Chains A and B, each alone.
Chain A
Amino acid sequence: MSPEKMVHMANQIATFFKTQPGGDQAARIAAHLTDYWEPRMLDQLHAHVDAGGKGLDDLVIAAETEIVKTHIRA
C-alpha cells in the first residue's frame, strides 16, 4: 500500500477517536488498529513511524507507541 494511503487510513481512524470523550484516545486508536489491521499493515505503520512518521496525526504516532508496547511485531 502506498505510504499516503496508509497515512490517510490511520489518520481517518484518529479523526474519529479524537471526537470521542475521555483521555484515552491513543489507547483506543491502538486497540482499533490491532483489532483490524493485519500485521503487515502494522509493520508498515511501524516502519513509517521509525522513518519519521511523515503526515501521521500525533495521536496515531502515540497509538503506534502503545502498539509497540503491547503487540509483538510480526
Chain B
Amino acid sequence: MKDLIIPNDRDMGTPAKTGAPVTLEIDGMAVTVPEGTSVLRAAAEAGIQIPKLCASDNLEAFGSCRLCVVEIEGRRGTPASCTTPVTPGMVVHTGSSKVRKIRKGVMELYISDHPLDCLTCSANGDCELQDMAGAVGLRDVRYEAPENGGMVNHFEARNTSGEANPEWLPKDDSNPYFSYDPSKCIVCNRCVRACEEVQGTFALTIQGRGFDSRVSAGNAGDDFLASDCVSCGACVQACPTATLQEKSIIEMGTPDRSVVTTCAYCGVGCSFKAEMNGDELVRMVPYKHGKANRGHSCVKGRFAYGYAHHKDRILKPMIRDRITDPWREVEWDEALSFAASKMRGLQETYGKKSIGVITSSRCTNEETYLVQKLARAVFGNNNTDTCARVCHSPTGYGLGQTFGTSAGTQDFDSVEQTDVVVVIGANPTDGHPVFASRLKKRLREGAKLIVVDPRRIDLVKSAHVAASHHLPLRPGTNVAVVSALAHVIVTEGLINEEFIRARCDWDEFQHYAEFISNPRHSPEATAMLTGVDPAELRAAARLFATGGNGSIYYGLGVTEHSQGSTTVMGIANLAMLTGNMGRPGVGVNPLRGQNNVQGACDMGSFPHELPGYRHVKGPEVRKVFEEAWDVQIDAEPGLRIPNMLDAAVDGTFKGLYCQGEDILQSDPDTKHVAAGLAAMECIIVHDLFLNETANYAHVFLPGSTFLEKDGTFTNAERRINRVRKVIPPLNGYADWEITQMLANAMGAGWTYAHPARIMEEIAATTPSFAGVDYALLEEKGSVQWPCNEAHPEGMPLMHIDAFMRGKGRFIVTEYVATDEKTGPRFPLLLTTGRILSQYNVGAQTRRTDNVVWHEEDLLEIHPHDAEVRGLKDGDWVRLASRAGETTLRAKLTDRVSPGVVYTTFHHPDTQANVITTDYSDWATNCPEYKVTAVQISLSNGPTDWQEDYAAQAAQARRILPAAE
C-alpha cells in the first residue's frame, strides 16, 4: 500500500493554461493544447523535452537563459520556446543543428563560470545544470580566464597567486534549514520569481546587472535570516543548481525514493513527498499534485519535522502511582494493564460516567474514531471531546444551524476566482501560510481585500498587497461589526433578493431584515462600542455586496468568544444576503487551526454527536453503531472538556485518556485546569513528549509521529488526505494500535489490522463517508466529503443548488457584550494568536530549529499604553487578569490599537492561559481566549506562579533510571 505510484511530476516548463484548444506541429507531431500554452509546454505534453534552465512550470516564463530556443517555420531567428505561445498551425523544430549549436554555446558560457566539482557537489544527481550540460552534449569549455586579466568568475575565492577574488561571495548559512552558496548561482531568477509568484513575500532581488548580477535576500548587508524571508523553501525548490540547497541534503545526500504524505501541522493540509535515502528521511518537498497546496509549503511542513528525533521524545511506556512519584519505565503490557485496571476500578467505585477521553485534532481520523469508540463502546459513556472544542466548535453550531452542516463551503482552489475577500479574525500569513500565499496571488491579480481584526495583521499591508479596508474592532465586538455590515447591505438595498427567495426561508429573512434594519445596528450607532470608523465599515459592506464574487474566510478570532456561535451565524447571514454561495469564488470558509480539526469533528469526537454529526439522542443513529459495535450506547450527551474539569473538581470525574492533546497548556484558566487534573485519580497521557498535562499523569503511553503511521487527515476544505508511514514507529506502535491495545486491555476485543479497516467501519456507519476507502484515495489522491453514492468522487463545493438543510436560515444576531469587561483594575483587553514558525502549544516546533524565529512569547503593546506605564521595548512586564498573572517581555508596536495587548501561547513558561478566564461561547463552551481584561505593569522577572509551576513540572518529569 505504501508504494503508491507517484503520478508524473515532471516539470512541464511553464504553467498550464485553460484556453480553447490549439493544434500545432512539433517535430512532425500534431499536438493540441489550450490557447496561451507555451511552445515549451506543448512540446513537453507531446513528450519532447526541450532543454531549459530558467523556466519552471510553477512560474511565469522569463526567457533569460536562451537554452530553450527552437525554430519556427515562417519566423525569423530562434525564439525562446518558453516565452512563445502556440498558434494554430505553427510548425516547430526543436532539434535542428542551428538550435543545438546555440544551446551548446549557452551551456558553455554557463559552465565557464561554474565550479566543476560535480562529484562532490551536494546537488550531484539532482542538478538541472548538470542535466542540461548532458542534454546538449557539452564536452569542452573554451572560455578561460584571461592571463593577468584578473579573474572573471564568481566561484574561486582566490586566484592562483592567492589574491582574493572580489566577485566571490561566501556561503550564507544563516537560515537553519537551507544554505545559499553564491558561487554556484547561474542567475536564472527562478528563486526570485518563486518568492514573488508562489510565496508572495518578495524577499529576494537580483542586485546589479550583467556579469555583476547576484541574488540578494533583503537589502545590502542582510543575510537570509535577517531578510523578510519566511523560510517557505519555494526558492530552494525552484533553484536548478546547488546554490539554494537544503542543509539536510548537504549532510545526508540525495534521496532515492519518496512517499507522498500530508503535513501534520495546520488545517491547510499540504501534501508532501517525504524523500528517503534508505530508511532515513532526508527532505520533505511539497507535492505538486497536492490539491490543497499545489506544490507549495510553509516552513513548518517543509522543514520542521526534526522533532521526531528530538532527545526529549519518550519511547517507552511509563507509569507511577502518584504524580509526586518519579516515572517508572515499564513494558507495554504492564503499562496497559495498569491503565486498564485503574480505569475499570474508577468506574466500579465512582460509576460508569466517571472517566472519559480527549482526542486531539492532530490525530488521524482513524485514531480519533477509535478514541471516541473507546469512550462510547468500552467505557460505556459519551465522555469524549476533542481540542476542536476550544477552537471551532462554534463553527459546528453556527453553520449547522444556518446551512445544515458545519463544513466549510469551498475548496482552496476557489480563492482563484474570488473578487472580494473578507478575512475576519484570522491571520493567514501566520496561521495558514500556504492558503495565504494563494490568497495573495489572487490579490495581486486585482481581487479586493477587507480585513476585520483588532490587529494590523500582515495582510493589511505587505509587499504588493494592501487591504481596501481594515476594520480594527475592539476585541469582543465581532457580532456588532458583522451585524453592522449586514445592516448596511440590507438598508442600502444591496441584497441579492433572487438568491434569498430561491434558497432561503423567506419568512425568517423578513424577520431578520426587520431586525437588522433597526438603526441601533448601524455602523454609526455601534462605532462607540466597536471602535470602527462607520464610513470605512459602510464602504467595506458596499464593496463586499457589489464587488463580484465575495468570499469570507474566518478563524479563531471569530469563534473564541462568548458570542462565537452568534458571529458564525452572522457570517452565514452575510453570505446568504449577498448570494455568495454555491459556486467557485464565494462561500463561508472556516480556517481550521490544526491539521485535523475538520476530521476530529467529523469522526464523532464531540460528546453529543456520533460520527457524521448525528446527535446521540437519535435512536436510529444509535442503532447503527449499536449493531456495528454490539453494545448499548448512552442516549445522553457526555461531558465537554471544560465540563470534565468542572466535574473533576467536584469529585465526580476521575479518569482521563488524553491522546495528543496538552490541555494544561492549551486550555484557558490554567489554574482551574490544573486543579481539575490534580483531582483525577488516573490520567493517561498518550503523546510524543512529557507535555504539561503529563505533569499530572499516572500513565504515559509514548506516541508516534505522522511520519510513523498510516491514516488520513481531513483539512479545512473537507479534503481527506492520506498520511503514509515513512519510517517505522520509533516507540514501537502506531497510535491507532496503542488505542486498540488499551481498549483490548479493558476487554474490547478489537482486531483492526490496518487503518484501512477502521476507515471501512467509518464508511459503513457514516453516510457522508460511505464512498471513502483507501483504494479510492490511492486512485484520486484525495477526496472531499460528502463522498457517497450521490457524489462518488466527493464534493469540492457545498450547497450548490440547495443548502444541506434545505432552505438557508437567517438567524437574528443580537450583540451581547461579553461579561469580561475592562474597568479600573483591568483596563486593557488581551487578545491571543499565533505566529508562522510555531505551532499551537509549540511542543513540536519548539523542538526544531524554528526557534530561531521565535524564542519566546512577547506581549505586543501600543506605544501609547506603554508610555503611560513607563514601559520600554524588551522590558519584563507583569500581565494580570482576574484569573491570574504571568510575566513576559514587551514589544512596542502600533499593530495593536491603544487599549489592546496581544500575545501568542507557544511557550509553556509564558503561561498565557494563566491569564485567560473561564468564560466561554454560550452555545458550545468554546473558551473566550480572544478577550481578557488585563492590566500590565513593569516587573523584574517571573511570577511566583511561574516559578512554582516550573518547580512542580521539573519534579513531575523525573524518570527513574531503568532497572537493570
Contacts and interface: CB of A to CB of B under 8 A. Distances in A.
Interface in A9-46: 9, 12-13, 15-16, 19-21, 32, 34-41
A40 B353 CA distance: 10
Given A5-B646, A19-B812, A38-B636, A12 B608 contact: no
A69 B465 CA distance: 59
B615 interface: yes
Interface stretch (B319-327, B637-645, B939-947): B637-645
8 contacts: A1-B643, A13-B922, A16-B922, A32-B923, A36-B640, A38-B638, A38-B639, A38-B643
A54 interface: no
Contacts, number: 63
A35 B617 contact: yes
Interface in B649-669: 649-650, 652
Given A21-B812, A38-B647, 12 more contacts: A1-B646, A1-B650, A15-B816, A16-B565, A16-B922, A19-B812, A20-B812, A38-B607, A38-B638, A38-B639, A38-B640, A40-B639
Given A15-B922, A21-B511, A40 B647 contact: yes
Contacts of A74: 636
Contacts of B649: 1
Nearest to B609: A35
B566 interface: yes
A37 B920 contact: no
B819 interface: yes
A12 B922 contact: yes
User: Contact residue range for chain A?
Assistant: 20 to 34
Please report whether the interface of chain B is mostly helix, strand, loop or mixed according to DSSP. loop
Contacts of A39: 353, 636
Contact of A20 (B382, B565, B607, B811): B811
A38 B385 CA distance: 12
A38 to B, nearest CB: 5
Interface in B597-633: 607-608, 615, 617
Contacts of B814: 16, 19
Contact of A16 (B383, B608, B615, B923): B923
Nearest to A8: B819
Contacts of A13: 922-923
Contacts of B565: 16
A15 B559 CA distance: 18
A21 B637 CA distance: 27
Interface string B382-412: 1100000000000000000000000000000
B562 interface: yes
Contacts of B639: 38, 40-41
Interface in A36-73: 36-41
A38 B812 contact: no
A57 to B, nearest CB: 12
B790 to A, nearest CB: 28
A47 B812 CA distance: 32
B605 to A, nearest CB: 15
Contacts of B813: 19
B197 interface: no
Nearest to A22: B511
Contacts of A19: 812-814
Contacts of A1: 643, 646-647, 649-650
Interface residues of B, number: 35
Contacts of A12: 562, 922
A30 to B, nearest CB: 13
Contacts of B918: 5
B232 to A, nearest CB: 41
A69 B374 CA distance: 33
Contacts of A15: 816, 922
- A-B interface, 9 closest residue pairs, ranked by CB to CB distance from nearest: A12-B922, A19-B814, A1-B646, A38-B639, A21-B511, A39-B636, A16-B922, A19-B812, A13-B922
Nearest to B815: A19
Interface in B70-84: none
Nearest to B650: A1
A5 B927 CA distance: 13
A19 B812 CA distance: 7
B652 A40 contact: yes
Contacts of B923: 13, 16, 32, 36
Nearest to B919: A8
A12 B922 CA distance: 5
Nearest to A20: B812
Nearest to A2: B646
Contacts of A8: 819, 919
Given A9-B920, A16-B566, A37 B637 contact: yes
Which among B647, B813, B922 has the highest number of chain A CB atoms within 10 Å?
B922
B368 interface: no
A37 B811 CA distance: 23
Nearest to B920: A9
Given A9-B920, A16-B922, A32-B923, A38 B637 contact: yes
A38 B637 CA distance: 5
Contacts of B652: 40
Contacts of B712: none
Interface string B565-605: 11000000000000000000000000000000000000000
A16 B639 CA distance: 22
Given A8-B819, A9-B920, A13-B923, A36 B647 contact: no
B640 to A, nearest CB: 8
A20 B569 CA distance: 13
Contacts of A9: 920, 922, 925
Contacts of A16: 565-566, 814, 816, 922-923
A5 B883 CA distance: 14
Contacts of A5: 646, 918
A39 to B, nearest CB: 5
Nearest to A43: B652
A48 B382 CA distance: 24
B669 to A, nearest CB: 11
Contacts of A34: 617
A13 B652 CA distance: 24
A32 to B, nearest CB: 7
B941 to A, nearest CB: 33
Nearest to B381: A38
Contacts of A35: 608, 615, 617, 637
A20 B813 CA distance: 8
B959 to A, nearest CB: 35
Contacts of B607: 38
Contacts of A36: 608, 637, 640, 923-924
A38 B381 CA distance: 11
Contacts of B812: 19-21
A12 B353 CA distance: 26
A41 B57 CA distance: 59
Nearest to B925: A9
Contacts of A20: 811-812
Contacts of B924: 36
B548 to A, nearest CB: 33
Nearest to B642: A1
A41 B647 CA distance: 9
Interface string B424-460: 0000000000000000000000000000000000000
Contacts of B383: 38
Nearest to A1: B646
Contacts of B608: 35-36
A5 B607 CA distance: 20
B917 to A, nearest CB: 11
Contacts of B636: 38-39, 74
Contacts of B647: 1, 38, 40
A34 B814 CA distance: 23
A48 to B, nearest CB: 14
A20 B925 CA distance: 20
A34 B608 CA distance: 10
Interface string B319-353: 00000000000000000000000000000000001
B499 to A, nearest CB: 22
